[in-house]
Amino acid sequence: MTLPAQEGVSIIVPAYNYAEFIEQALESALAQTYPNIEIVVVDDGSTDQTPVILRRYADRIRIVTQDNLGLAAARNTGLREASHGLVAFLDADDILLPGMVSLLHGTLALVGGECALVAANHSYIDASGRPLDKYPRGPQETVEVTRKDLLLRNRFATCGVLARRDALVALGGFDEQLARVEDRDLWLRLVE
């Protein structure tokens, strides 16, 4: 099964007090080369300048505001609000390279209809955007990540994921009781 070339992708951006970084994150989402993107920012009750910065982008993004419920809840709100069948995630302190969504969409089309999620490698950068060589990542071939792989360690960052929205929603989304590893928990449930 192939994907429609113009199938929409919703980029979900949870944000809580990330005024220092949110602009870079949004600019990287807006710079995507993929032609059919919606950006859904869930302001999770920010008390800093995050809402002020978000308003400057209001004509290019959709802003959803909620009380501070945590990262998993903000991502779940984004899943509910997403207009498209494919979702990508971008934390407010991360950036996407311009071709990331196109790359992930192409990979999902390549692996076929039974696949609910694809992910790409990530690199670590400092607050100025300079690469950190803590975990150098190079190009790799497409590989299958198994349940055993995920049990041993998380194999990809959430900001490198493109997933079928309905598959994540069918599992109940991210576990809002978890303060950490809510992403890995969802990926493990998806593998099951």
Region of poorest pLDDT, from 76-80, 93-97, 153-157: 153-157
Q: Would you say 174 and 72 are in contact if contact means Cβ atoms under 8 Å apart?
A: yes
Q: What is the pLDDT of residue 139?
A: 46
Beta strands in 16-160 (DSSP E): 37-44, 62-66, 86-89, 117-119, 124-125, 131-132
Confidence of residue 114 (pLDDT cuts 50, 70, 90): confident
**Percentage of the chain lying above the pLDDT 70 cut:** 78
**Percentage of the chain lying above the pLDDT 90 cut:** 59
Backbone angles phi, psi at 177, to 5 degrees: -85, -15
Total length of the chain: 192
Structure tokens at 146: 């198994």
pTM: 0.86
Residue 186 has pLDDT above 80, yes or no: yes
Nearest to residue 36, comparing CAs of 14, 64, 10?
Answer: 10
Buried b (16+ CB within 10 A) or exposed e, 78-109: bbeebebbbbbbbbbebbbeeebbebbbbebb
11, β-bridge pairs: 39, 88
* pLDDT, tens only, 120-179: 765 555 666 666 665 545 445 555 665 565 555 565 667 888 999 999 999 999 999 998
Pairing of strands 9-15, 37-44: parallel
The C-alpha atoms of residue 128 and residue 98 are separated, in whole angstroms, by 18
Instruction: Report the pLDDT averaged over residues 32-48.
Output: 97
